[in-house]
Amino acid sequence: MKKTLYLKFILAYFIFGVFSFIIVTTFVPSMTRDHLIREKAEDLYLEATRISDTYAAGLYASETDLETVKDQLDSLALYLDSTIRIINPSGRLVLDTGASLNVEDEIVIDNFDPTATGGSYYMVNDFFGNFDSKMLSVFSPITFQYMVKGYVVIHCDMLRIEDSCNRMLNISYITLVILLLLSLIILIFFTEMVYIPLRKITYATEQYAAGNMHYEFQVESDDEIGYLAVCLNYMASQIASAEDDQKKFVANVSHDFRSPLTSIRGYLEAMIDGTIPPEMHDKYLNIVLTETERLTKLTNSLLSLNNLNTKGMLLKRADFDINSIIRSTAASFEGTCRKKTIAIEMVLTGEAMYVNADMEKIQQVLYNLLDNAIKFSHHDSVIRVETSVKKNKLFVSVKDTGIGIPKDDLKLIWDRFYKSDYSRGKDKKGTGLGLSIVKEIINCHGEHINVISTEGAGSEFIFSLLLADSNDDED
């Protein structure tokens, strides 16, 4: 499409111009000339027939004299801008509007043959050599008592018809020029409105294919081409953003793996070379064990995210009691809550509330949300877990009164490995993947999760689940 598309349109324009010129200069003149001759011949034939029925028949019936007929036909010939003749079957000229009436002069047209028209009522020639130029001659027989007494012949100079034909052809030529100019304008319009934007889009795709995702271009158009340009720009920006996120992801993974590995290697080397005395080995081996657990947790989280990228294909949906899952998940944090003197308050709808979801995945969501709530809550505080029903949805809320999330960080908390500056100081063992996993699990279920947070006052996470049909039966 780099060059061929535009060349095709130019070639099409050239072919259109050439063929239009050939048609107008070759076929149109002859067609126009033939049309004008037939049209003129039909008009003259009607007049000739009327003359033969009205004037000429009366002449042969001795109802009128030749001079009277001559005067009448002279006026008619002047009106028709033609020459009217009455000729007998032998070719003798009885009357001619183009000459004075002289009975004594006998003019005979040699080789006069009315049948030379070949069954037609007109001919285009010099009329048996009687004229110096071509004439359109129309015949109409004069009948009297069932016998042909003569012929009314009307002659029209072909120069007049040729002049009319030329005038019509001039109009055709002017029309052709106008059409070619309009076609050229359309070609220019196509160039400006279609081809140039397509060139821009093509060049942009080449830049994107080469890896330059930050290349930007503009197409000033409100049609599909403009929409395509906007979509390409948006696609490139999304790909560029994804690449940046990937780079950040790799950097974060490298950092989070490097730190515990560096600690493990350092402690082990210190124990081997004697820097750490044998009596201190148990202490530092426990630190190494903690770091290995951190690596295991990070690896498992990454595997979970990778599995969740299949967008629900791995979900094992079933009906289960969400209240029971909330209670059991909260009970697993009993020891941690006792150390920080934190209470988990549960306000649950009904004794049992069944939802349709993947129980293990939802339990993981609850675990991560409660883990975060406890981790960032103050001592002697309360974490509130509440459920509510709206239509066919169950809403689960996990609310704490901890440090909260800064306003600028709210949109970033779902990103992988993201930690706010303040949370990094509070969470030494976290992977920064917990909320990403929560988001992916809820999205896989086709549901939504939202957060309401005020820095220094606490945070509330709310997610929805689809109610099971068994709840409707119970109602």
Span 211-220, pLDDT tens digits: 888 788 778 7
Quick check: 95 pLDDT over 50? Answer: yes
Q: What is the pLDDT of residues 6-47, one digit of tens each?
A: 777 788 878 888 888 888 888 888 888 889 999 999 999 999
Quick check: 286 pLDDT over 60? Answer: yes
With contact defined as beta carbons under 8 Å apart, do 375 and 413 qualify?
no
Q: What is the pLDDT of residues 233-249, one digit of tens each?
A: 888 888 887 777 677 66
CA atoms of 227 and 190, how far apart (whole Å): 17
Domain-located, residue 187? no
CA end-to-end span of the chain: 65
Q: Please name the amino acid found at residue 173.
A: Y
Q: Please name the amino acid found at residue 269.
A: E
With contact defined as beta carbons under 8 Å apart, do 39 and 156 qualify?
no
Considering just the CA atoms, what is the radius of gyration of the chain in Å? 52
Domain-located, residue 195? no
Residue at which a domain ends, from 107, 133, 164: 164
Residue 401's CB: how many other CB atoms inside 10 A?
19
In sequence order, the 6+-apart residues with CB closer than 8 A to the CB of 138 are 41, 44, 45, 48, 121, 122, 153, 154, 156
Number of structural domains (the chain) is: 3
Higher pLDDT, 208 or 154: 154
**Residue listed under structure tokens 């003259």:** 44
Residue at which a domain ends, from 116, 132, 164: 164
Residue 398: give the domain boundaries.
Answer: 317-474
Domain-located, residue 190? no
Domain-located, residue 73? yes
322 & 292 share domain: no
Domain-located, residue 159? yes
In this prediction, residue 425 carries a pLDDT of 43
In this prediction, residue 155 carries a pLDDT of 92
Structure tokens at 266: 């350092």
Q: Report residue 422's pLDDT band, with 50, 70 and 90 as the boundaries.
A: very low
In this prediction, residue 258 carries a pLDDT of 73
Secondary structure of residue 152 in the 3-state scheme: strand
Q: What is the pLDDT of residues 164-188, one digit of tens each?
A: 888 888 888 888 888 888 888 888 8
Alpha-carbon torsion (196, 202, 206, 208), positive or negative: positive
In this prediction, residue 276 carries a pLDDT of 85
Residue at which a domain ends, from 131, 164, 197: 164
pTM confidence score: 0.45
In this prediction, residue 423 carries a pLDDT of 45
263 & 344 share domain: no
**Residue listed under structure tokens 């004299």:** 65
Structure tokens at 25: 């200069």
Q: Could you tell me where the DSSP H helices lie in 274-346?
A: 281-308, 322-331, 334-340
Domain-located, residue 233? no
Quick check: 452 pLDDT over 60? Answer: yes
In this prediction, residue 313 carries a pLDDT of 47
In this prediction, residue 39 carries a pLDDT of 92
Q: Residue 430's domain is classified under what CATH number? A: 3.30.565.10
In sequence order, the 6+-apart residues with CB closer than 8 A to the CB of 329 are 363, 366, 367, 370
Q: Report residue 437's pLDDT band, with 50, 70 and 90 as the boundaries.
A: confident
Q: C-alpha angle with apex 107: 113 to 78, nearest 5 degrees?
A: 85
Higher pLDDT, 215 or 447: 447
Residue 254, burial from CB neighbour count under 10 angstroms (0-12, 13-18, 19+) = exposed
